[in-house]
Copies of this chain bind each other. A is one copy, B any other.
Amino acid sequence: MARENSVIKYGMVGGGQGAFIGEVHRLAARLDGKIDLVCGAFSRDADNCKTTGAALGLDPSRCYADFEAMMVGEAARPESERMDFVSIVTPNHVHFPVAKAALEAGFHVLSDKPATLNLKEAKQLRKIVKASGKSYGLTHTYLGYPLVGEARGIIEAGGIGKVRKVFVEYIQGWLATEVDNKQADWRTDPARSGGSGCMGDIGTHAHNLAEFITGKRMTHVAADLSIFVDGRRLDDDGSALFRMEDGIKGTLSASQICVGNENSLSIRVYGETGGLEWHQEEPNTLTRTYLDKPTEILRAANGYLSQGAQDWFRTPPGHPEGYLEAFANCYLDFAKAIQTNGGSTTGIEAGVRGMAFVEALLTSSKKNSKWIEIKS
């Protein structure tokens, strides 16, 4: 199918058969017909890479043996043809080397989170991004939900007064027992996942959501991380008290052992004159509270939302949009960042902050002094 020149082209690193998040990225990128996959280094396993590419209808010459080859191969193509950005969907330990290679080869980068394996790498990457002049984005998917943006907008406009208290949590149950599959495997391996399991994987989403919606930085944590399943090497649960700029206080929990929970990310924010509540599993509803008025139920795509939020919906009220649409919004947001030389909603700064947050949690969990500063 022919495409206009204005369509953005990307290559993918990771996402071969058997992977989960790679296919999600491709679905999301494809949805709106504005972003085309043109090449990939889907797997170190040459057969897997080739098969994956074929199933996606890619030119076999653009299914590369590894990401290094992809950078070289694509750079050698005429500009009208070559990929504009690299999408990184590998396990965590490969995020940094791929991002570095891509940026240095002159490609924009959209990376799955967390940005890197640890804070040190993240700070290095920040320097590389800045030096490159290229766009760098992180798929903190949940910021792609329009009502999350609406929540941020309401708070920014003073709609709940000065923020006082935040409750944020990301609760799952799928690792409540020993799990032996590809997804569980690398997530619980320090070499591939980093110093934290649960907090790195999903706690970072909760942290990112809290900072995004309030527009404030988390400054200190007091944490208690746990390994509940025997033999597991990384935390599968944790809770933290936290403090943010401007006197905001809160709690953050992330867990993968809360039996029966699926993907329960939720946030409640209370200010001097109101509150907001949002749940990822019912993403088309935002609850708003007032001092002396009934609670309001704000629903997706309605005319009473800000124009900004309305614009991100693809269908009228009552037609549920979900995770893939949110993910697609992240891709559209990044495409726009490239086209306008603007920043993506979640860039390298958020990536560094996420890694600093995890590092502070790890420090706090080992110490008996309560408040550990988050230094990004």
A interface list, Cβ under 8 A from B: 1-4, 7, 20, 23-24, 26-27, 30-33, 36-38, 54-59, 160, 164-165, 167, 169, 172-174, 176-177, 222-224, 226, 228, 237, 239-241, 243, 249-251, 253, 255, 257-264, 268, 270-275, 280-284, 288-299, 302-304, 314-325, 364, 367-371
- Taking the closest CB of chain B, its distance from the CB of A122, in whole angstroms, is 26
Residues of B within 8 A of A282 (CB): 282, 320
Q: Which residue of B lies closest to A273 (CB)?
A: B259
Residues of B within 8 A of A325 (CB): 322, 324
When the two chains form their complex, are residues A237 and B165 in contact, meaning their CB atoms are under 8 A apart?
Answer: yes
In whole angstroms, what is the CA distance A261 to B369 when docked?
Answer: 33
The 7 closest A-B pairs by CB, nearest first: A260-B289, A263-B318, A262-B318, A320-B322, A319-B323, A294-B296, A262-B317
In whole angstroms, what is the CA distance A252 to B163 when docked?
Answer: 20
- Taking the closest CB of chain B, its distance from the CB of A278, in whole angstroms, is 13
Contact among B224, B250, B367 for A249, CB-based, below 8 A: B224
When the two chains form their complex, are residues B27 and A56 in contact, meaning their CB atoms are under 8 A apart?
Answer: no
Residues of B within 8 A of A165 (CB): 226, 228, 237, 255, 257-258
- Taking the closest CB of chain B, its distance from the CB of A229, in whole angstroms, is 9
In whole angstroms, what is the CA distance A100 to B70 when docked?
Answer: 49
**Chain copies in the assembly?**
4
When the two chains form their complex, are residues B270 and A370 in contact, meaning their CB atoms are under 8 A apart?
Answer: no
- Taking the closest CB of chain B, its distance from the CB of A110, in whole angstroms, is 18
- Taking the closest CB of chain B, its distance from the CB of A171, in whole angstroms, is 8
When the two chains form their complex, are residues B226 and A249 in contact, meaning their CB atoms are under 8 A apart?
Answer: yes
- Taking the closest CB of chain B, its distance from the CB of A203, in whole angstroms, is 14
Residues of B within 8 A of A26 (CB): 33
A-B contact pairs, 10 of them (CB 8 A): A1-B36, A1-B58, A27-B314, A33-B57, A224-B241, A239-B249, A258-B270, A281-B320, A282-B282, A314-B324
Contact among B164, B173, B226, B275 for A260, CB-based, below 8 A: B275
Contact among B31, B55, B294, B318 for A298, CB-based, below 8 A: B294
Residues of B within 8 A of A262 (CB): 299, 302, 316-318
Residues of B within 8 A of A292 (CB): 303-304
Residues of B within 8 A of A241 (CB): 222-224, 239-241
When the two chains form their complex, are residues A4 and B296 in contact, meaning their CB atoms are under 8 A apart?
Answer: no
Contact among B38, B173, B284, B302 for A1, CB-based, below 8 A: B38
Residues of B within 8 A of A38 (CB): 1
When the two chains form their complex, are residues A258 and B250 in contact, meaning their CB atoms are under 8 A apart?
Answer: no
Q: Which residue of B lies closest to A29 (CB)?
A: B33
- Taking the closest CB of chain B, its distance from the CB of A166, in whole angstroms, is 10
Interface-central residue, A281, A283, A290, A298, by most chain B CB under 10 Å: A281
Residues of B within 8 A of A298 (CB): 294
- Taking the closest CB of chain B, its distance from the CB of A236, in whole angstroms, is 10
Contact among B2, B57, B268, B296 for A57, CB-based, below 8 A: B2
